[in-house]
């Protein structure tokens, strides 16, 4: 049986403006300019400001009430726009711009781009070393080179290259031809290029070294070749005793052979900074912290302070409209035009306000982090980073935890000790045997130091690492040690073993 009933409930929803502000908070300084350019293109009322000083920042408090009044008056035949236009002209929208003394005027510097060949261009130039007898053979060689990835590997099957040649160039090729040309390309520089897996890559490089060495210097390299060809799995798992037994080697002979392997490059194309059109990525700090005789000074990167204002042309349009409609009722099209102008001006004002609020939120959050982690910013010692969670900064600033999370995400701060990610300052706490709470970052650094000085012939297991940390006063479980070790990118004891 269906029934109808009435009920009341309160819900809280974010307005489109609040959603946009949250998105602006997440944008790092490196991409903020792109977002501003998009807004400049979509809203003609928004303009880039000149460098002249503005007298007063425009105040739009109560804009929601004005909007409601305009909507109500729109429905009336006696709707007049004189008061509305006068308001905008008197308030002078051109003075509505961003101006903050807390912004650092950083000199604009352009990063010079090195002019150099890409990895694939370097390979293409070596095609002349091959014996090419036809356009078809040239197309096959170029297709193979084009299929080599950014690490220098060919991870495509011959049948896939054959299909590409057939569909794109109407060239029929056989698997034998593909493999033949691949074998020749694998002799190109850098050694190891065109390999289909890591094992083949290392074999190609060690063979290249053997060919260039005199006979009396080849012994360790020949042993290394045998290991790579016949015992690669044991080598990757560091089963050194099995390798010694299977190859009848002394410990010194095995050590020399492994040293030869470790000199090889697992990524042949790594020496090329511009691979397949890729460019170097640079970190643009969002904040800059400087130490001035013991006092910390925090400023936002100048790119956080775009010069924005209301377009002069829109003010002129309002003045023109006021002059032409004086003493008469505005026509429908004229009203629509003014309402369009109002919409664009309001949108531009909101965007400038959102950028200003973004700056203020970023500054307040970073200032709270800087004060909370004062010992690190004055000493640079990562062990002095205090346990800090989002809630701590939220309570200091009065901002919501989600807002702090958005600010910390993808943001960087430049200090005299290097550029740090904001997220690196947040960590959980761990209790020492004396009852003191320390940051997990401190424990990780201690763990890293213990592993650094361990006996590489007999690396310490996670259980031994736990005992070492407990001896230093840290109450910690073995599984926690394993988790921290993995987070630091440190392998298990067996894979840390060295001869």
Residue 153, helix vs strand vs coil: strand
Structural domains of the chain, ranges and CATH numbers in brackets: 16-49+60-105+280-426 (no CATH), 119-271 (no CATH), 430-499 (1.10.10.60)
Q: How far, in Å, CA of 188 to CA of 339, rounded?
A: 68
Q: How far, in Å, CA of 288 to CA of 298, rounded?
A: 6
Closest CA relative to residue 189, chosen from 122, 139, 261: 122
Alpha helices by DSSP H, 249-388: 251-262, 312-324, 332-372, 374-379
The per-residue pLDDT for 49 is: 67
The per-residue pLDDT for 67 is: 44
Owner of token pair 């997220």: 423
The per-residue pLDDT for 63 is: 41
Write the CB contacts of 22 (distance below 8 Å, at least 6 apart in sequence).
14, 402, 403, 406
**Lookup: tokens for 282:** 């640079």
**Lookup: tokens for 216:** 């009396």
Strands 295-300 and 287-292: antiparallel
Owner of token pair 């009848």: 248
The per-residue pLDDT for 337 is: 79
DSSP 488: T
**Lookup: tokens for 374:** 């004062």
DSSP 3: -
The per-residue pLDDT for 226 is: 92
Q: How far, in Å, CA of 55 to CA of 406, rounded?
A: 33
The per-residue pLDDT for 470 is: 84
The per-residue pLDDT for 68 is: 44
Classify residue 257 by burial, with Cβ atoms within 10 Å: 0-12, 13-18, 19+: buried
Handedness of CA 372, 373, 378, 384 (dihedral sign): positive
Q: What one-character-per-residue DSSP string does 215-249 give?
A: GGG-HHHHHHHHHHHH-HHHHHTT-HHHHHHHHT-
The per-residue pLDDT for 330 is: 65
Question: Maximum CA pair distance of the chain?
Answer: 108
Measured CA distances, 59 to 53, 67, 88, 231, 314 (Å): 17, 15, 11, 75, 18
Q: How far, in Å, CA of 74 to CA of 463, rounded?
A: 77
Write the CB contacts of 391 (distance below 8 Å, at least 6 apart in sequence).
401
**Lookup: tokens for 247:** 């190859």
Q: How far, in Å, CA of 439 to CA of 437, rounded?
A: 7
**Lookup: tokens for 363:** 């500054």
Say what the pTM is. Answer: 0.58
Closest CA relative to residue 374, chosen from 431, 425, 439, 424: 425
The per-residue pLDDT for 276 is: 45
Type and span of the H or E element at 290: strand 287-292
Sheet hosting strand 287-292, strand order edge to edge: 295-300, 287-292, 412-415, 418-421
Residue 243 contacts residue 227 (beta carbons within 8 Å):
yes
Residue 483, helix vs strand vs coil: helix
**Tens-digit pLDDT profile for the chain (499 aa)?**
677 777 777 665 666 667 767 788 878 877 888 888 888 888 888 887 655 443 333 333 334 444 444 444 444 433 455 665 666 555 555 455 554 444 444 444 444 545 556 788 888 888 888 888 888 889 998 999 989 998 899 998 999 999 988 888 888 889 999 999 999 999 998 899 999 999 999 999 999 998 887 777 788 899 999 999 999 998 888 888 888 888 898 888 888 889 899 889 998 888 775 444 455 567 788 899 998 887 889 988 876 566 788 877 877 777 777 677 666 666 777 778 778 887 888 888 888 888 888 888 989 999 999 999 998 898 888 778 888 888 999 999 998 888 888 888 888 999 988 888 888 888 877 777 776 777 777 788 888 888 888 888 888 888 888 888 888 888 888 888 888 888 888 888 877 877 6
Type and span of the H or E element at 143: helix 135-147
The per-residue pLDDT for 14 is: 60
């Amino acid at each position: 049986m269906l029934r109808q009933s009435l009920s009341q409930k309160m819900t809280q929803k974010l307005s489109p403006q609040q959603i946009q502000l949250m998105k602006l908070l997440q944008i790092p300084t490196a991409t903020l300019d792109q977002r501003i350019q998009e807004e400049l293109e979509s809203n003609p009322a928004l303009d880039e400001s000149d460098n002249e000083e503005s007298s007063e920042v425009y105040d739009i408090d109560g804009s929601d009430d004005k909007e409601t009044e305009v909507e109500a008056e729109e429905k009336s035949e006696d709707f007049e726009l004189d008061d509305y236009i006068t308001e905008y002209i008197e308030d002078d929208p051109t003075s509505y711009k961003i101006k903050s003394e807390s912004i650092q005027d950083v000199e604009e510097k352009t990063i010079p781009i090195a002019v150099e060949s890409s990895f694939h261009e370097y390979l293409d130039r070596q095609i002349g070393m091959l014996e090419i007898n036809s356009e078809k053979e040239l197309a096959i060689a170029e297709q193979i080179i084009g299929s080599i990835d950014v690490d220098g590997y060919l991870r495509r099957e011959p049948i896939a290259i054959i299909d590409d040649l057939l569909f794109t160039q109407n060239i029929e090729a056989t698997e034998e031809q593909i493999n033949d040309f691949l074998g020749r390309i694998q002799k190109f520089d850098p050694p190891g290029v065109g390999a289909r897996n890591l094992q083949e890559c290392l074999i190609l490089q060690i063979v290249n070294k053997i060919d260039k060495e005199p006979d009396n210097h080849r012994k360790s390299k020949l042993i290394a070749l045998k290991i790579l060809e016949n015992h690669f799995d044991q080598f990757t798992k560091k089963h050194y005793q099995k390798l010694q037994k299977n190859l009848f080697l002394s410990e010194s002979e095995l050590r020399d052979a492994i040293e030869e392997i470790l000199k090889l490059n697992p990524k042949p194309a790594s020496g090329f900074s511009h691979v397949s059109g890729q460019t170097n990525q640079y970190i643009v700090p969002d904040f800059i912290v400087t130490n001035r005789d013991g006092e910390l000074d925090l400023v936002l990167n100048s790119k956080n302070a775009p010069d924005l204002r209301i377009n002069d042309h829109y003010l002129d349009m309002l003045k023109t409209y006021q002059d032409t409609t004086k003493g008469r009722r505005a026509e429908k099209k004229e009203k629509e035009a003014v309402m369009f102008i109002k919409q664009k001006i309001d949108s531009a004002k909101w965007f400038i306000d959102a950028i200003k609020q973004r700056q203020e939120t970023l500054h307040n959050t970073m200032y709270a982090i800087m004060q909370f982690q004062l010992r690190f910013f004055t000493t640079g010692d990562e062990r002095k980073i205090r346990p800090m969670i989002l809630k701590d900064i939220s309570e200091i600033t009065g901002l919501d935890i989600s807002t702090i999370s958005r600010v910390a995400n993808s943001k960087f701060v430049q200090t005299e000790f290097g550029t740090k990610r904001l997220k690196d300052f947040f960590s959980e706490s761990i209790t020492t045997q004396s009852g003191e709470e320390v940051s997990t970052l401190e424990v990780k650094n201690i763990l890293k130091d213990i592993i650094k000085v361990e006996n590489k012939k007999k690396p310490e297991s996670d259980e031994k690492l736990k005992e070492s940390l407990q001896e230093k006063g840290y109450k910690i479980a073995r599984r926690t040690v394993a988790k921290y070790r993995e987070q630091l990118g440190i392998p298990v004891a067996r894979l840390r073993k060295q001869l």
